[in-house]
Amino acid sequence: MSHRWVGSSLVDTRQRSGRLALVLVVLVMQAACILPSGVARGGRYGYDNSVSAACRQNPALCSTLSGKELAEVGIMVASVGSALQVLDNLTRGSIEQALAECADLARSEVLLRYPTTFKGPRPDSNECNEWTVDAQGNSVTWAMRLGTEMHEVAAQCAEKQLDTLRPGGFSVESRYRYDSRTGRWKQVSPEEERALVESGNQGELRGSLKPDVVLHTGDPSNVLAIYDFKFPCVNPRQAEELTDWGSYPQGHPYHLRTQKQMYGQLLGPNDLSGQNIARIVPRWGVIR
């Protein structure tokens, strides 16, 4: 009898642990889908990551749990949420390594699309300034065309990598606009941006910022770090040749200020160290 009871207890414990693990995975995945962690998810910023909210989405799972188990799941989900509130050095290092690899991948992949276009495997400075026609039919220089295509590949790569490294705590190519009523920067959804452009009211986006990668706490307005991919047409041989942030041109709302300075406004008090804004350059990695 004792042996059978112990065996039954072990089975029950394993089954209970299995249910907890399954429900936790599903709830975290649901939370990640609710959170605006990339372009494909944009549009919904308010969320309720409580267990009860997740159970409302999938009651069949939570109905199998006892009150004690449900409380344990709640603690675990809360732990996942609290992990997004900070950006530790280990996580930062993994993310930056992944973004650097995305930049390298983007440069290589795009240049391989044009094996016979340039005299060599990559364009020289003269070829970079030659005119071509992009996929939208616009006349642009090769530097502009290659940079745009590399950004597209890098963004897709970053989305995939961050979905694994920091689910629910990032945005890729999301636009931010300053809200004078609240004194805070607010994320603009892709739907809202598209509606403004299609209605001819894109002027309302004047002065907005669109970083390539933003790490946040799960609330897109609480930004922890910003990364921008930079794709110089001719890859620098020396650090002194690296493209800097540059100043906004005359006529721009932020004339004479740099992109990095404006990203500092977006970060607010989270940029006191000056280490939370960086460029990602192919073959060079993270440049602060």
pLDDT digits (tens, 9 = 90+) for 242-285: 878 888 999 999 999 999 999 999 988 777 667 899 999 999 99
Alpha carbon separation from 26 to 62, 76, 78, 176, 205 (Å, rounded): 10, 12, 14, 30, 37
211 neighbors 226 (Cβ within 8 angstroms): yes
Whether pTM > 0.85 for this model: the answer is: no
Confidence at 62, pLDDT banded by 50, 70, 90: low
What span, in angstroms and rounded, lies between the C-alpha atoms of 264 and 245? 12
Question: Please, what's the b/e burial string for 117-126 (b: 16 or more CB within 10 A of its CB; e: otherwise)?
Answer: ebeeebbeee
CA-to-CA separations, 255 to 144, 206, 244, 258, in angstroms, rounded:
22, 13, 16, 8
pLDDT tens for 208-233 read 999 999 999 999 999 999 999 999 99
Instruction: Please state, as a whole number, how many other Cβ atoms lie within 10 Å of the Cβ of residue 236.
Output: 14
Taking 90 as the threshold, does the pLDDT of residue 130 lie above it?
yes
- Domain range list for the chain: 2-83, 89-174+211-287
User: Residue 202 gets which letter from DSSP?
Assistant: G
The helix/strand/coil state of 270 is: helix
* The pLDDT of residue 36: 38
C-alpha 207: how far from chain center = 21
Residue 257, classified by CB atoms within 10 Å of its CB into exposed (0-12), middle (13-18) or buried (19+), is: middle
pLDDT of residue 118: 96
- Asked whether 157 and 169 are in contact (CB, 8 A), the reply is no
Residue 31 has pLDDT above 90, yes or no: no
Q: What pLDDT is stored for residue 39 in this prediction?
A: 37
CA quadruple 112, 115, 119, 123: dihedral sign: negative
